[in-house]
Amino acid sequence: MTSISLRSSAAATFKADALVIGVHGSGEVVSAVDSASADVADILGTDFVATLNELKVSPEPGHVAKIPGGGTSAAVIVVAGLGPEAEVTLEALRRASGAAARELTGKKTIAYALPASTDEQIRAVAEGALLGGYAFDRYLSKLGGPIGEVVVLTGLARSKSAKKAVNVAQTVAAAVNLARDLVNDPPNHLYPESFAKQMKTLAKTSKVTVDVMEEDALEAKGYGGMLGVGKGSQRPPRLVTLSYTPRGARTHLAFVGKGITFDSGGLSIKPANAMVTMKCDMAGAAAVAAATFAIAELELPVRVTAYACLAENMPSGDATRPGDVLTMYGGKTVEVLNTDAEGRLVLADGITTALAREPDLIVDVATLTGACVVALGNKMSGVFSNDPVLHEALASTAETAGELMWPMPIPEDVKEKVKTTKIADLSQHNPEPWGGASYAAGFLREFVPEGMPWAHLDIAGPAFNSGDAEGYTPKGGTGAAVRTLVQLAVERSR
Ligand code: BES
Ligand code: MN
Ligand code: ZN
């Protein structure tokens, strides 16, 4: 674990393996060194900015360059772009800090001389460092090792609220990194039973209580969605309920997460290429669980119940077929038309379960549709909702948290389309090759009673980064939606 602390030392004379400084500018031109490291700039000389431009160092957030420590007390200096001086956003700080940390894994001490004159900036620098320093090395025989200590240089080193900001950053980053670990863990290691077991273990040192429903209990209670999806697998489904019930909470949030530990498509099997990253299909369950642990650790005065709907979607002689009719938890019947549209089936059972405890709102989180990735790209999640206020609010909650989420519609005609089938209450799938993300959302909405505010986050794009690491986002699992859920709880506290 990387430790993190605040110090008020001068940047140039602070002894560290690496010192991170910020530069401003736009496009390809560096115009100035950030004032937080003015003493460093002085030592490096008046032509320092000219040299950076000669070396084609980029001032854009997320871009970094390593140079020798020069006359400073640091072995190496990492020059991190912050963008134009007038608009250093918290997101720019997180990205700069994260990109620097990615260059410095294995170092013992790194010092950050980035803008850190408010609690929010301190939190952003700390969060970026802890998120960017993430590495998934569980299965590597040769370990790179995490960063030993991150020191944020700030005039607020003695401030109580600044220390609190560091604690928040630590808790939130640990939750994001937990979700990343769960997503990155290979599907022969992480399956419904082992996911549930990890939740039990984590609960031991937390204010969260964990309840696990095994397959016999799911059968007894009629969880047709969960069981139908898990039927083809040797590894049976689990419904994990995580509860955080602080005294005096006035609001109760329910989170429901899609937890397909591997999505082969089932009998409607995916082509080989589309299957490669499908260990990520439990990212929604990972996000709701990790966020719940963080909310409890922050002791936010809001009640949270999270449901991880865990199953493995596999083909076999016993698997659910296209054409089968499932009786879902709560009694609605669904005609299955494509076994690769499995997420909505486990989520529907989860949403119905959530209703019993009468929450104030329900948010489900799921790597639900490729269609959402086509619509919004792989860095932005879609937000669907039955409640116009919650719909807009969530997108701005996400922005505050540093995540990209965009409000998406469920067009009027979806209402009829989900009832096209003549032999069951609902059609699971629309064979038309368009509007798939909205159809899936419209299907889920059928399980939400009138008057219950509900939002659905389709994180199929951002949950897993198949490209290169960038800013504080690593390759592989990203921990998408964790920060938004924690921020939602902050906003709904009291
Ligand atoms: N898990 C996938 C969606 C997905 C796609 C997640 C890409 C992450 C990246 C989901 O279960 C799925 O297979 N959806 C199908 C639905 C279709 C059969 C209606 C899809 O999007 O193609
Ligand atoms: Mn699928
Ligand atoms: Zn899936």
* CA 270 – CA 277 distance, rounded (Å): 11
Its sign, for the CA torsion 435, 436, 437, 438, is positive
What is the structure's pLDDT at 241? 99
How much is the pLDDT for 359? Answer: 98
Write the pLDDT tens digit of every residue in 210-238.
999 999 999 999 999 999 999 999 999 99
pLDDT(73) > 80: yes
**143 pLDDT above the threshold of 80:** no
Residue 197: which H helix or E strand, with range?
A: helix 192-203
CA 181 to chain centre: 11
Place of tokens 């299909």: 281
Give the alpha-carbon dihedral of 255, 261, 267, 270, to 10 degrees.
Answer: 100
| Contact criterion met (CB below 8 Å) for 231 and 319 | yes
Cβ atoms of residues 152 and 125 within 8 Å: yes
DSSP 3-state assignment of 170? Answer: helix
CATH number of 177-492: 3.40.630.10
Assess whether pLDDT exceeds 80 at residue 313.
yes
Cβ contacts of 396 within 8 Å, gap of 6 or more? none
Q: How much is the mean pLDDT over the chain?
A: 97
Domain residue spans in the chain?
A: 3-158, 177-492
Give percent of the chain above pLDDT 90: 98
Residue 406 β-bridge partners: 382
Pairwise CA distance, residues 18 & 157, whole Å: 19
Task: Report the length, in residues, of the chain.
Answer: 494
- Out of 163, 207, 221, 270, the active site residue is 270
pTM > 0.95: yes or no: yes
Residue 202 pLDDT: 98
**What are the tens digits of pLDDT across the range 319-367?**
999 999 999 999 999 999 999 999 999 999 999 999 999 999 999 999 9
The residue nearest atom 19 of ligand 1, judged by CA position, is 341
Say whether 270 is catalytic: yes
> Atom 13 in ligand 1: which residue has the minimum CA distance?
340
User: What are the two backbone dihedrals, phi and then psi, of residue 455, each rounded to the nearest 5 degrees?
Assistant: -135, 145
CA pseudo-torsion sign 429, 435, 438, 442: negative
Ligand 1 proximity of 458 Cβ (cutoff 6 Å)? no
Mutational pocket test of ligand 1: of 282, 337, 369, the residue with most ligand atoms within 8 Å of the beta carbon: 369
- Return the CATH number of the domain spanning residue range 3-158: 3.40.220.10
Confidence of residue 1 (pLDDT cuts 50, 70, 90): confident
191, 226, 285, 347, 350 from 237: Cα distances, Å = 9, 7, 13, 13, 12
As a whole number, mean pLDDT of residues 187-191 equals 98
Token code pair at residue 38: 């003015």
Ligand nearest the Cα atom of residue 459 = 1
How far apart (Å, rounded) are the C-alpha atoms in residues 37 and 20? Answer: 9
Q: Given this model, what pLDDT does residue 87 score?
A: 83
Q: Give the mean pLDDT of 442-455.
A: 98
- 373 Cβ below 6 A of ligand 1: yes
CA 257 to ligand 2 centroid distance, Å: 15
